[in-house]
Amino acid sequence: MQLDFFYDLSSPWTYLAFNNIQPIIKETGAAVRWRPFLVGGVFNAVNPGVYEARAVPTDPKVIHNFRWLHEWARLADLPLVFPTEHHPVKSVLAMRVCCALEPQQQALQLFSAAAFDAYFAEGNNIDDPAVLGRVADRCGLDGHSLIEQASQQSIKDQLRANTEAAIALGAYGSPSVFVADKLYFGNDQLPLIRGVLLRGQSNESSL
């Protein structure tokens, strides 16, 4: 089955989901398409309440979400240095770099994993071109070239198109995962995604 994973590197819940979905993909044999988008564009279009919630850090929901985030990270055995002085980070440049890699899905997955680690496990600023360049270089990619590509209009247009596509499908945050055009959101819905993929796998094998 086809799985479309729309994501923004600035989202801590996406950091968890990106890592936690890997064994599910391997187990189910799902065909995954990594789709970089700009979560801020999604919030602006359909979910502006996110900004209102951030403006009240003493809100019990905000406090509990922060605690749950760290508990999920411990459960997944993922290091989490969050928040840092870079939060909330501007992710436009990072997501444009991802769009430059989108035609090379394996390279995109490798870079995204390393960029997530750079921000959430190491506390680096992924809005810094030098940081992104080093992340790409460590992945065996040409960091300098990717930073240059990120300024091209075609890459900017691709990021905008991906964001608009996610909104049109019903996305309201990151990660937004679509299986057979059905939306699943966040890290905690991964068991639902696994179940759908396994049922689809069973149905295909019975044909």
Domains of the chain: 2-205 (3.40.30.10)
Band (pLDDT 50/70/90 cuts) for residue 180 is confident
pLDDT of residue 129: 98
Instruction: Check whether 86 has a pLDDT greater than 60.
Output: yes
- Distance (Å) of CA 138 to CA 33, 41, 59: 23, 29, 40
pLDDT of residue 204: 61
- Whole-angstrom Cα distance, residue 49 to residue 185? 17
Instruction: Check whether 10 has a pLDDT greater than 60.
Output: yes
Residue type, position 139, single letter: C
Instruction: Check whether 35 has a pLDDT greater than 60.
Output: yes
Band (pLDDT 50/70/90 cuts) for residue 167 is very high
Encode 44-81: b = buried (16+ Cβ within 10 Å), e = exposed.
Answer: eeeeeeeeeeeeeeeeeeeeeeeeebeebbeeeebebe
pTM, full prediction? 0.94
pLDDT of residue 53: 65
Which is more confident, 121 or 200? 121
Strand partners, 179: 3, 182
Which is more confident, 57 or 37? 37
Which is more confident, 57 or 146? 146
Instruction: Check whether 110 has a pLDDT greater than 90.
Output: yes
Mean of the per-residue pLDDT values of the chain: 94
Over residues 107-126, mean pLDDT = 98
Strand partners, 178: 4, 183
Over residues 198-206, mean pLDDT = 72
**Residue 187: closest CA among 90, 68, 99, 86:** 68
Run of H or E including 185: strand 182-185
Instruction: Check whether 31 has a pLDDT greater than 80.
Output: yes
Residue type, position 162, single letter: N
* Cis bond upstream, residue 191 (ω within 30): no
Over residues 78-87, mean pLDDT = 96
